[in-house]
Structure 1
């Protein structure tokens, strides 16, 4: 029993040392010992093991001590120890990328989502990943694993997608299917959960404990981090913001934009905005065009956009009142119109919320899903990087 406990303590201490190096690099052995309150000899032994295992590099000397002693050798985390594949499966496109352990994207590709069969989708995904690895000359053993975001309610334990309207999936065993094509570990989750993990790791939510990420595209979904932990809900459906009801009168006659879509996304999502404008002017238009028409002074566009954004803002106000987050980050296609809509949203938030909350547009572009998927893998995979 003593041997078992000693081994566990050693593993915990090694993880703490590595985390300290990642958080405060470049840093010396002596400073690590001070920060995490472990003896210098123990820290030195653990650091030597981390160097031998290529988790850590020595990078030169730091400042000498006040008494003029020998300059300490600094240490830095080695983000090239392994690489992660990040995948974002959307209803229109599939994004694929490779990152290092710091989330730096080393390779990126995308392809249209095959509409015929899921076999075609996974075969294309497999060939894209293989070509990416080959092109970068990465040995297979250096692929740590893969994170995958999908646009639907996902049981992350069993790997089932309960419902993904954009892909036509219901109770789909995506984990079982992926196992046919990939032999390294992978983890799957809802794309907005993946989004909020990416924001927390490398985006606007970095160094914040309570974050809401709202993706406004064809539909509307959100990811929630509370006290640094992703909140998925009892049945993995937390954050289904598109099902919020923000207008009692319109809710009586509400018709979903697509089968399975909720009230809010059917009046404030990208497709809904385009559809409402199309009905008014009897000409097919998309959300981006509606916002352009709004800026040009179109009365119809103003009515459509104002109605959609008012309901979206009420949904955001409800989130702030219930969860009191530090920041709400807007992503997805419609968030590109943030400069146009932010004043209207902030006015409504001031009116209806008990506390102020920072509202921001995501800083990520098309690579958002890839970074988030890499963050998902690091969060779920049991390794020395986890504390």
Structure 2
């Protein structure tokens, strides 16, 4: 056999392995016969790859079902205990770190407040969190397949991982290099809106869709454009928060004027509320203060105005991208959407073309504010499934 032939055979076997692992991971328990039907691979190919995966401890047998006149069919699944992954959410007000098994069951969690965004401070919190979840979860570093990290801003991966996060004051911060001072674990870094989008695509409101936009609204505003399906996802971050909705309007944290974030980001809502004469409890944190405003804006009209701006932003997304779904998430997005989703839909309809709006649903994130960390943890899982 020539080198090219050996390479082709190896690549084909790797593809088959990845295809079967993905099918088994997202399809839960399946027999070899079901895997053959789902993937189009021959029973012989499925049997060969499954023997290999069982020998490696990646796949386990979990019972059987009766077949039509033949022997019972053995059911298989990916072994949740084969390894663990860590997801990190770097937010504006805290760093959250979570440990999961391969079934994405949470095993430990650590949460650290952030009052400064210096790269060294944020990095220290991340390393503290990684160490804490390993200890609390009773897991050794050798069990960790990888650490996924969701960060604000733009991530550049070549020649090294660099992060530009204007609201943090980060300009080409060498995040992976900083983390390497405290960990040797495999690291994968992506935009936080993207990781939330991946979580929704794999486990939440995005399941079953081939195209969606996940809007992440917290202190700031971002979005992830997701495509494909859970088995072969694609995601790209967009600067949704810096879509201009008012020419020459309020000054945004980015320095420009009239950005959507300057009207619907949590910090901006509270600023506008105070400017309109609303009274905020001086001892309340940002989340508690926004929760109070979302229930009662004290007659300022700020809440209704926020809904209109958010609807206009979503309408622009619908006109530009015609997604199957727009999913509203982030802690502030969920606070706003919980009581005002119908009003947000109505505002989006007013700012959308009739046909794309009719084919787009607007929904809330199902996974809650922890979706960013969960989605970050899917980064090493994706790499593991790909082989």
Kindly indicate whether residue 22 of structure 2 is the aligned counterpart of residue 19 of structure 1: yes
Question: Counterpart of 1:278?
Answer: 274
**Pairs within 5 Å for 1:10-159:** 10-65=13-68, 67=69, 69-113=70-114, 115=116, 117-157=118-158, 158-159=160-161
In 2, Cα distance between equivalents of 1:367 and 1:116: 20
Q: Is the 8 A contact 1:156 1:187 kept in 2?
A: no
Listed one character per residue, the Cα deviations across residues 314-354 of structure 1 (whole Å, up to 9, x for unaligned) are 11001011111111111123221213322222112223322
TM normalised by structure 1 equals 0.87
Distance 1:92 1:47, change over 3 A: same
SS in 2 for 1:58: strand
1:305 to 300, 303, 306: 303
In 2, Cα distance between equivalents of 1:78 and 1:377: 16
Distance 1:317 1:227, change over 3 A: same
Kindly indicate whether residue 248 of structure 2 is the aligned counterpart of residue 252 of structure 1: yes
**Pairs within 5 Å for 1:340-355:** 340-353=339-352, 354=354, 355=356
Distance 1:369 1:295, change over 3 A: closer
Distance 1:287 1:314, change over 3 A: farther
Residue 284 (structure 1) shift: 4.6
SS in 2 for 1:263: coil
TM normalised by structure 2 equals 0.87
List alignment gaps of at least 5 residues for structure 2: none
Q: Is the 8 A contact 1:99 1:105 kept in 2?
A: yes
Q: Is the 8 A contact 1:21 1:27 kept in 2?
A: yes
Q: Is the 8 A contact 1:145 1:185 kept in 2?
A: yes
Q: Is the 8 A contact 2:57 2:79 kept in 1?
A: yes
Question: Counterpart of 1:235?
Answer: none
Residue 116 (structure 1) shift: 7.5
Distance 1:170 1:74, change over 3 A: same
Residue 61 (structure 1) shift: 1.9
Question: Counterpart of 1:230?
Answer: 234
In 2, Cα distance between equivalents of 1:226 and 1:36: 20
Residue 156 (structure 1) shift: 3.8
In 2, Cα distance between equivalents of 1:32 and 1:24: 9
Residue 173 (structure 1) shift: 1.2
Listed one character per residue, the Cα deviations across residues 249-304 of structure 1 (whole Å, up to 9, x for unaligned) are xx22532256578611112221111111212227556675466456447321xx21
Distance 1:260 1:177, change over 3 A: farther
Structure 1 stretch displaced more, 254-263 or 127-136: 254-263
In 1, Cα distance between equivalents of 2:227 and 2:30: 30
Q: Is the 8 A contact 1:288 1:334 kept in 2?
A: no
In 2, Cα distance between equivalents of 1:231 and 1:261: 28
Distance 1:154 1:312, change over 3 A: same
Kindly tell me the number of residue pairs found equivalent between the two proteins. 371
Q: Is the 8 A contact 2:211 2:226 kept in 1?
A: yes
Distance 1:284 1:258, change over 3 A: farther
Question: Counterpart of 1:314?
Answer: 312
List alignment gaps of at least 5 residues for structure 1: 233-237
